[in-house]
Protein backbone atom coordinates (compact mmCIF):
# COMPACT_ATOMS: atom_id res chain seq x y z
CA UNK A 1 0.00 0.00 0.00
CA UNK A 2 1.31 3.45 -0.92
CA UNK A 3 1.48 5.68 2.14
CA UNK A 4 1.55 9.39 1.27
CA UNK A 5 3.77 11.89 2.92
CA UNK A 6 3.75 15.62 2.31
CA UNK A 7 5.86 16.50 -0.70
CA UNK A 8 7.88 19.72 -0.73
CA UNK A 9 7.36 22.47 -3.30
CA UNK A 10 9.66 22.63 -6.30
CA UNK A 11 12.33 25.25 -6.73
CA UNK A 12 12.91 27.19 -9.92
CA UNK A 13 14.73 25.15 -12.54
CA UNK A 14 18.22 26.31 -13.45
CA UNK A 15 19.57 26.29 -16.98
CA UNK A 16 21.31 23.04 -17.90
CA UNK A 17 23.75 24.57 -20.37
CA UNK A 18 25.59 27.74 -19.30
CA UNK A 19 28.19 29.36 -21.58
CA UNK A 20 31.07 27.67 -19.76
CA UNK A 21 31.44 23.87 -19.65
CA UNK A 22 28.77 22.38 -17.43
CA UNK A 23 30.06 20.50 -14.42
CA UNK A 24 28.65 16.97 -14.32
CA UNK A 25 28.69 14.03 -11.95
CA UNK A 26 27.72 10.78 -13.66
CA UNK A 27 26.39 8.19 -11.23
CA UNK A 28 26.06 4.85 -13.02
CA UNK A 29 26.02 1.05 -12.84
CA UNK A 30 28.01 0.08 -15.95
CA UNK A 31 26.19 -1.44 -18.02
CA UNK A 32 26.64 -1.13 -21.80
CA UNK A 33 24.46 1.96 -22.19
CA UNK A 34 26.18 3.50 -19.16
CA UNK A 35 29.53 2.93 -20.88
CA UNK A 36 28.30 4.56 -24.10
CA UNK A 37 26.99 7.58 -22.16
CA UNK A 38 30.26 7.82 -20.24
CA UNK A 39 32.27 7.79 -23.49
CA UNK A 40 30.13 10.61 -24.86
CA UNK A 41 30.37 12.77 -21.74
CA UNK A 42 34.10 12.44 -21.13
CA UNK A 43 34.93 13.85 -24.58
CA UNK A 44 32.14 16.43 -24.90
CA UNK A 45 33.80 19.88 -24.97
CA UNK A 46 30.62 21.38 -23.48
CA UNK A 47 31.06 19.35 -20.30
CA UNK A 48 33.43 19.05 -17.38
CA UNK A 49 32.87 15.67 -15.78
CA UNK A 50 34.13 16.26 -12.26
CA UNK A 51 33.31 12.76 -11.00
CA UNK A 52 32.01 9.39 -12.11
CA UNK A 53 30.56 7.25 -9.36
CA UNK A 54 29.63 3.58 -9.34
CA UNK A 55 26.46 1.97 -8.02
CA UNK A 56 25.37 -1.63 -7.92
CA UNK A 57 22.58 -2.44 -10.35
CA UNK A 58 23.25 -3.97 -13.74
CA UNK A 59 26.12 -5.74 -11.99
CA UNK A 60 27.15 -6.16 -8.36
CA UNK A 61 28.87 -3.28 -6.58
CA UNK A 62 32.41 -4.63 -6.92
CA UNK A 63 31.96 -5.30 -10.64
CA UNK A 64 30.40 -1.87 -11.20
CA UNK A 65 33.40 -0.20 -9.59
CA UNK A 66 35.84 -2.33 -11.59
CA UNK A 67 34.01 -1.53 -14.83
CA UNK A 68 34.03 2.19 -14.14
CA UNK A 69 37.73 2.26 -13.28
CA UNK A 70 38.62 0.20 -16.35
CA UNK A 71 36.55 2.34 -18.72
CA UNK A 72 38.03 5.64 -17.52
CA UNK A 73 41.57 4.27 -17.57
CA UNK A 74 41.21 2.81 -21.07
CA UNK A 75 39.53 5.89 -22.56
CA UNK A 76 42.09 8.21 -20.90
CA UNK A 77 40.07 11.44 -21.32
CA UNK A 78 41.72 14.89 -21.37
CA UNK A 79 40.34 15.59 -17.89
CA UNK A 80 40.39 12.69 -15.50
CA UNK A 81 37.34 12.72 -13.21
CA UNK A 82 37.29 11.55 -9.63
CA UNK A 83 36.03 7.99 -9.31
CA UNK A 84 33.71 6.77 -6.57
CA UNK A 85 33.40 3.14 -5.54
CA UNK A 86 30.01 1.46 -5.12
CA UNK A 87 29.06 0.48 -1.58
CA UNK A 88 28.86 -3.27 -1.22
CA UNK A 89 26.38 -3.14 1.68
CA UNK A 90 23.39 -1.96 -0.37
CA UNK A 91 20.58 -4.52 -0.67
CA UNK A 92 19.31 -4.35 -4.24
CA UNK A 93 16.82 -6.29 -6.31
CA UNK A 94 18.21 -8.08 -9.37
CA UNK A 95 16.70 -8.48 -12.81
CA UNK A 96 15.65 -11.88 -14.21
CA UNK A 97 17.79 -11.43 -17.33
CA UNK A 98 20.46 -9.02 -18.53
CA UNK A 99 21.32 -7.63 -21.92
CA UNK A 100 24.74 -6.63 -20.60
CA UNK A 101 26.45 -10.00 -20.15
CA UNK A 102 28.03 -11.43 -17.04
CA UNK A 103 30.55 -8.60 -16.64
CA UNK A 104 28.11 -5.83 -17.58
CA UNK A 105 30.13 -4.80 -20.63
CA UNK A 106 29.31 -7.62 -23.03
CA UNK A 107 32.47 -9.59 -22.24
CA UNK A 108 34.74 -6.66 -23.12
CA UNK A 109 37.43 -7.90 -20.72
CA UNK A 110 39.20 -4.60 -20.12
CA UNK A 111 42.34 -4.64 -17.93
CA UNK A 112 41.41 -4.25 -14.27
CA UNK A 113 42.77 -1.11 -12.69
CA UNK A 114 43.18 -0.75 -8.90
CA UNK A 115 41.54 2.27 -7.29
CA UNK A 116 44.26 3.91 -5.20
CA UNK A 117 43.11 6.15 -2.37
CA UNK A 118 39.52 5.99 -3.54
CA UNK A 119 36.37 6.81 -1.62
CA UNK A 120 32.87 5.44 -1.72
CA UNK A 121 30.57 7.08 -4.23
CA UNK A 122 28.40 9.03 -1.81
CA UNK A 123 31.48 10.67 -0.28
CA UNK A 124 32.81 11.69 -3.70
CA UNK A 125 29.43 13.13 -4.70
CA UNK A 126 29.12 15.05 -1.43
CA UNK A 127 32.63 16.50 -1.71
CA UNK A 128 32.14 17.59 -5.32
CA UNK A 129 28.82 19.29 -4.55
CA UNK A 130 30.35 21.10 -1.56
CA UNK A 131 33.30 22.20 -3.69
CA UNK A 132 31.05 23.56 -6.46
CA UNK A 133 27.77 24.63 -4.84
CA UNK A 134 24.84 25.02 -7.27
CA UNK A 135 27.15 24.40 -10.23
CA UNK A 136 26.93 20.63 -10.65
CA UNK A 137 24.35 18.61 -12.53
CA UNK A 138 24.11 15.01 -11.34
CA UNK A 139 23.13 12.59 -14.09
CA UNK A 140 21.87 9.44 -12.38
CA UNK A 141 21.93 6.50 -14.79
CA UNK A 142 21.48 3.65 -12.31
CA UNK A 143 19.60 2.93 -9.09
CA UNK A 144 19.39 6.02 -6.88
CA UNK A 145 21.20 4.39 -3.95
CA UNK A 146 24.13 6.81 -3.90
CA UNK A 147 22.03 9.94 -4.33
CA UNK A 148 19.72 8.88 -1.51
CA UNK A 149 22.67 8.22 0.80
CA UNK A 150 24.17 11.64 0.10
CA UNK A 151 20.85 13.33 0.92
CA UNK A 152 20.47 11.30 4.12
CA UNK A 153 24.02 12.06 5.19
CA UNK A 154 23.52 15.80 4.70
CA UNK A 155 19.90 16.89 4.05
CA UNK A 156 21.04 20.47 3.46
CA UNK A 157 23.07 19.39 0.43
CA UNK A 158 19.87 19.35 -1.68
CA UNK A 159 19.89 23.13 -2.07
CA UNK A 160 23.52 22.99 -3.28
CA UNK A 161 22.82 20.59 -6.17
CA UNK A 162 22.46 22.53 -9.41
CA UNK A 163 20.09 19.97 -10.92
CA UNK A 164 19.48 16.24 -11.02
CA UNK A 165 18.62 14.28 -14.16
CA UNK A 166 17.31 10.79 -13.42
CA UNK A 167 17.05 7.91 -15.85
CA UNK A 168 14.18 6.01 -14.29
CA UNK A 169 10.51 5.39 -13.85
CA UNK A 170 7.70 4.68 -16.28
CA UNK A 171 4.39 6.50 -16.14
CA UNK A 172 2.66 5.20 -19.27
CA UNK A 173 4.58 2.25 -20.66
CA UNK A 174 5.05 -1.20 -19.20
CA UNK A 175 8.18 -1.71 -17.14
CA UNK A 176 11.32 -3.57 -18.15
CA UNK A 177 11.91 -5.16 -14.73
CA UNK A 178 8.29 -5.83 -13.74
CA UNK A 179 5.01 -5.05 -15.50
CA UNK A 180 4.95 -1.61 -13.82
CA UNK A 181 8.54 -0.70 -12.91
CA UNK A 182 11.71 0.13 -14.76
CA UNK A 183 14.87 -1.54 -13.55
CA UNK A 184 16.50 1.47 -11.88
CA UNK A 185 13.53 2.20 -9.62
CA UNK A 186 12.80 -1.48 -9.04
CA UNK A 187 16.38 -2.15 -8.00
CA UNK A 188 16.18 0.25 -5.03
CA UNK A 189 12.58 1.49 -4.58
CA UNK A 190 13.23 3.14 -1.22
CA UNK A 191 16.06 5.23 -2.65
CA UNK A 192 13.91 6.18 -5.65
CA UNK A 193 11.07 7.32 -3.43
CA UNK A 194 13.39 9.31 -1.19
CA UNK A 195 15.06 11.16 -4.06
CA UNK A 196 11.86 11.85 -6.02
CA UNK A 197 10.37 13.43 -2.90
CA UNK A 198 13.36 15.68 -2.17
CA UNK A 199 13.11 19.48 -2.62
CA UNK A 200 15.64 19.85 -5.41
CA UNK A 201 15.52 20.66 -9.11
CA UNK A 202 15.11 17.33 -10.86
CA UNK A 203 14.08 15.85 -14.17
CA UNK A 204 12.83 12.30 -14.72
CA UNK A 205 13.62 10.67 -18.05
CA UNK A 206 11.18 7.74 -17.99
CA UNK A 207 11.25 4.48 -19.88
CA UNK A 208 8.56 5.48 -22.37
CA UNK A 209 10.65 8.47 -23.46
CA UNK A 210 14.03 6.76 -23.68
CA UNK A 211 12.33 3.94 -25.62
CA UNK A 212 11.41 6.35 -28.41
CA UNK A 213 15.04 6.37 -29.54
CA UNK A 214 15.73 3.07 -31.32
CA UNK A 215 19.04 2.17 -32.93
CA UNK A 216 19.28 -0.31 -35.79
CA UNK A 217 22.32 -2.17 -37.08
CA UNK A 218 23.42 0.86 -39.09
CA UNK A 219 24.70 2.23 -35.78
CA UNK A 220 27.65 -0.16 -35.96
CA UNK A 221 28.77 1.40 -39.25
CA UNK A 222 28.77 4.89 -37.73
CA UNK A 223 30.80 4.18 -34.61
CA UNK A 224 34.34 5.50 -34.11
CA UNK A 225 37.09 3.74 -36.04
CA UNK A 226 38.31 0.36 -34.83
CA UNK A 227 41.77 1.62 -33.93
CA UNK A 228 40.56 4.48 -31.71
CA UNK A 229 40.19 3.82 -28.00
CA UNK A 230 36.50 4.68 -28.16
CA UNK A 231 36.02 2.34 -31.12
CA UNK A 232 37.76 -0.53 -29.34
CA UNK A 233 35.22 -0.26 -26.53
CA UNK A 234 32.04 0.65 -28.37
CA UNK A 235 32.18 -1.79 -31.28
CA UNK A 236 32.34 -5.07 -29.30
CA UNK A 237 29.94 -3.85 -26.61
CA UNK A 238 27.26 -2.73 -29.03
CA UNK A 239 27.69 -5.80 -31.22
CA UNK A 240 26.95 -7.84 -28.08
CA UNK A 241 23.94 -5.63 -27.32
CA UNK A 242 22.38 -6.24 -30.75
CA UNK A 243 22.98 -9.99 -30.46
CA UNK A 244 21.58 -10.18 -26.90
CA UNK A 245 18.51 -8.14 -27.83
CA UNK A 246 17.74 -10.49 -30.69
CA UNK A 247 18.33 -13.65 -28.68
CA UNK A 248 16.49 -12.60 -25.51
CA UNK A 249 13.66 -10.45 -26.86
CA UNK A 250 13.53 -11.21 -30.57
CA UNK A 251 14.16 -7.56 -31.49
CA UNK A 252 16.53 -6.27 -34.16
CA UNK A 253 16.94 -2.76 -32.75
CA UNK A 254 18.41 -1.75 -29.40
CA UNK A 255 17.54 0.88 -26.81
CA UNK A 256 20.21 2.88 -24.99
CA UNK A 257 18.21 4.33 -22.12
CA UNK A 258 21.11 5.94 -20.27
CA UNK A 259 22.37 7.60 -23.44
CA UNK A 260 19.01 9.32 -23.93
CA UNK A 261 19.12 10.51 -20.31
CA UNK A 262 22.55 12.05 -20.84
CA UNK A 263 21.27 13.88 -23.92
CA UNK A 264 18.36 15.16 -21.82
CA UNK A 265 20.94 16.83 -19.58
CA UNK A 266 23.07 18.27 -22.39
CA UNK A 267 20.39 19.07 -25.00
CA UNK A 268 17.13 19.67 -23.11
CA UNK A 269 15.55 21.42 -26.10
CA UNK A 270 15.15 18.00 -27.76
CA UNK A 271 12.65 16.93 -25.09
CA UNK A 272 9.09 17.81 -24.15
CA UNK A 273 8.40 18.17 -20.44
CA UNK A 274 5.63 18.67 -17.95
CA UNK A 275 5.74 19.31 -14.23
CA UNK A 276 4.05 16.54 -12.25
CA UNK A 277 3.34 15.37 -8.73
CA UNK A 278 5.20 12.07 -8.41
CA UNK A 279 5.96 9.39 -5.85
CA UNK A 280 7.32 5.84 -5.92
CA UNK A 281 5.76 2.68 -4.50
CA UNK A 282 8.10 0.78 -2.21
CA UNK A 283 6.17 -2.05 -0.55
CA UNK A 284 3.83 -3.68 -3.04
CA UNK A 285 4.49 -7.31 -3.91
CA UNK A 286 3.59 -6.56 -7.53
CA UNK A 287 4.27 -2.83 -7.69
CA UNK A 288 7.57 -2.12 -5.89
CA UNK A 289 9.44 0.54 -7.81
CA UNK A 290 6.35 1.80 -9.64
CA UNK A 291 6.35 5.51 -10.45
CA UNK A 292 3.00 6.99 -9.42
CA UNK A 293 1.80 10.27 -10.97
CA UNK A 294 -1.15 12.14 -9.48
CA UNK A 295 -3.14 13.29 -12.53
CA UNK A 296 -6.42 13.93 -10.70
CA UNK A 297 -8.13 17.25 -11.35
CA UNK A 298 -8.43 17.81 -7.60
CA UNK A 299 -5.02 16.38 -6.72
CA UNK A 300 -3.63 17.04 -3.27
CA UNK A 301 -0.02 16.14 -4.09
CA UNK A 302 2.29 19.04 -4.82
CA UNK A 303 4.15 19.09 -8.17
CA UNK A 304 7.73 18.07 -7.45
CA UNK A 305 9.33 16.78 -10.64
CA UNK A 306 9.80 17.62 -14.30
CA UNK A 307 8.80 14.58 -16.35
CA UNK A 308 10.08 14.27 -19.92
CA UNK A 309 7.07 13.02 -21.84
CA UNK A 310 8.49 12.94 -25.36
CA UNK A 311 11.53 13.66 -27.47
CA UNK A 312 12.78 14.42 -30.95
CA UNK A 313 14.10 10.91 -31.55
CA UNK A 314 15.92 11.88 -34.75
CA UNK A 315 17.56 14.81 -33.01
CA UNK A 316 18.64 12.66 -30.06
CA UNK A 317 20.17 10.03 -32.36
CA UNK A 318 21.99 12.73 -34.30
CA UNK A 319 23.45 14.19 -31.11
CA UNK A 320 24.56 10.74 -29.96
CA UNK A 321 26.28 9.94 -33.25
CA UNK A 322 28.04 13.31 -33.35
CA UNK A 323 29.25 12.85 -29.77
CA UNK A 324 30.59 9.38 -30.49
CA UNK A 325 32.42 10.62 -33.58
CA UNK A 326 34.01 13.34 -31.44
CA UNK A 327 35.12 10.73 -28.91
CA UNK A 328 36.64 8.66 -31.69
CA UNK A 329 38.51 11.62 -33.17
CA UNK A 330 40.04 12.52 -29.81
CA UNK A 331 41.06 8.97 -28.89
Q: What percent of the chain has pLDDT over 90?
A: 79
- For residue 13, what pLDDT is reported? 40
Q: Is the predicted pLDDT of residue 2 greater than 60, yes or no?
A: no
- Give the domain extent around 62: 22-330
- For residue 19, what pLDDT is reported? 62
- Please indicate, yes or no, if residue 201 is contained in any of the structural domains: yes
pLDDT one-digit tens code per residue, 8-54: 444 344 344 446 899 999 999 999 999 999 999 999 999 999 999 99
pLDDT one-digit tens code per residue, 88-133: 887 677 665 578 888 999 999 898 887 766 799 999 999 999 999 9
- Please indicate, yes or no, if residue 217 is contained in any of the structural domains: yes
- Please indicate, yes or no, if residue 4 is contained in any of the structural domains: no
The mean pLDDT value of the chain amounts to 91
- Please indicate, yes or no, if residue 93 is contained in any of the structural domains: yes
- Please indicate, yes or no, if residue 79 is contained in any of the structural domains: yes
Contact at 8 Å (CB) between 64 and 54? yes
- Please indicate, yes or no, if residue 1 is contained in any of the structural domains: no
Contact at 8 Å (CB) between 71 and 141? no
Mean pLDDT of 288-309: 95
Q: What percent of the chain has pLDDT over 70?
A: 92
- For residue 251, what pLDDT is reported? 87
pLDDT one-digit tens code per residue, 177-228: 999 999 999 999 999 999 999 999 999 999 999 999 999 999 999 999 989 9
38 sits in which H/E element: helix 32-42
- For residue 17, what pLDDT is reported? 44
CATH of the domain at 153: 3.90.245.10
Mean pLDDT of 66-76: 96
Distances (CA, A) of 81 to 65, 73, 121: 14, 10, 13
pLDDT one-digit tens code per residue, 249-261: 888 899 999 999 9
**Between these two residues, 63 and 330, which has the higher pLDDT value?**
63
Residues serving a catalytic function are 257
Least confident segment among 34-48, 142-156, 165-179: 165-179
Look up the pTM and report it.
Answer: 0.91
Count how many domains the chain has.
1
- Please indicate, yes or no, if residue 176 is contained in any of the structural domains: yes
- Please indicate, yes or no, if residue 6 is contained in any of the structural domains: no
Backbone φ, ψ for residue 204 (5° rounding): -95, 130
Residues 6+ away with beta carbon under 8 Å from 228: 327, 328, 329, 331
Burial class (CB in 10 A: 0-12, 13-18, 19+), 294: middle
- For residue 126, what pLDDT is reported? 98
In whole angstroms, give the CA distance from residue 142 to residue 164: 13
Amino acid sequence: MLVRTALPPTRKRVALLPSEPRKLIIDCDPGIDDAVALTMALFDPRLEVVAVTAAGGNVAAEQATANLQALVAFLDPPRLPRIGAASADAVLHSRPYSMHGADGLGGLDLPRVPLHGGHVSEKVIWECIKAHPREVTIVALGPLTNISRVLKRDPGIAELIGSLVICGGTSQASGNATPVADFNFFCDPAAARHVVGEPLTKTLVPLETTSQVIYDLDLLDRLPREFSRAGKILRPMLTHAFRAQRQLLGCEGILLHDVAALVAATDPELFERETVAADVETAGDLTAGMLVIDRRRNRTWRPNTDLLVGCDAVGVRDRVLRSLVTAGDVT
